[in-house]
Amino acid sequence: MKKQKILLLLLILCARMAGAQQTSSGQKAISLNNLFISVGNYPGTSYHLSLESFRQLAPGSVFLQNDLSSFKSNRYSFFDNSYLFRAGATFSKKNEPEKERRIRPNFRLAATYGGGTLYSNYFWKESHYPADTLVSVKSGSIYVLDSVSTKSYTMEYHQEYFGIDASLIFYSPAWHAFSIYGGVGINGNFNFDNYVTIGYSQFSHLEQSESSRAEYFNVWRILDVNYEEENIPTAKSFSASIFLPLGVDMKLSKHERGLGKLHLYYELHPLILVSGVPELKAFTGFRVQHSMGLRFTLI
pLDDT score, position 7:
47
Provide the percentage of residues in the chain whose pLDDT is more than 90: 48
pLDDT score, position 140:
65
Nearest to 171 by CA among 242, 268, 241, 100: 100
Check whether 23 has a pLDDT greater than 50: no
Nearest to 78 by CA among 107, 33, 110, 43: 43
Across 126-130, 213-217, 250-254, least confident range = 213-217
Nearest to 51 by CA among 163, 137, 155: 155
**Residue 249: what residue type?**
D
Domain residue extents for the chain: 2-21+39-297
Mean pLDDT calculated for residue range 11-22: 47
CA 239 to chain centre: 14
**Residue 118: what residue type?**
L
Nearest to 32 by CA among 7, 50, 10, 14: 14
pLDDT tens-digit profile of 70-84?
A: 999 876 666 778 899
Could you tell me if 155 and 198 are in contact, meaning their C-beta atoms sit under 8 angstroms apart?
Answer: yes
- Using pLDDT thresholds of 50, 70 and 90, give the confidence band for residue 156: very high
pLDDT score, position 9:
53
Mean pLDDT calculated for residue range 100-108: 78
pLDDT score, position 22:
42
Measure the CA–CA gap between 277 and 35, rounded to whole angstroms: 33
Check whether 1 has a pLDDT greater than 70: no
Complete DSSP assignment for 177-237: TEEEEEEEEEEEEEE---EEEEEEEEEEEEEE-GGG-SS----EEEEEEEEEEEEEE---E
Check whether 188 has a pLDDT greater than 90: yes
Check whether 233 has a pLDDT greater than 50: yes
| Burial of 167 from C-beta contacts in 10 A (0-12 / 13-18 / 19+) | buried
Check whether 44 has a pLDDT greater than 60: yes
pLDDT score, position 30:
74
Q: What share of the chain is helix, strand, coil (3-state, %, to 5)?
A: 10, 60, 30
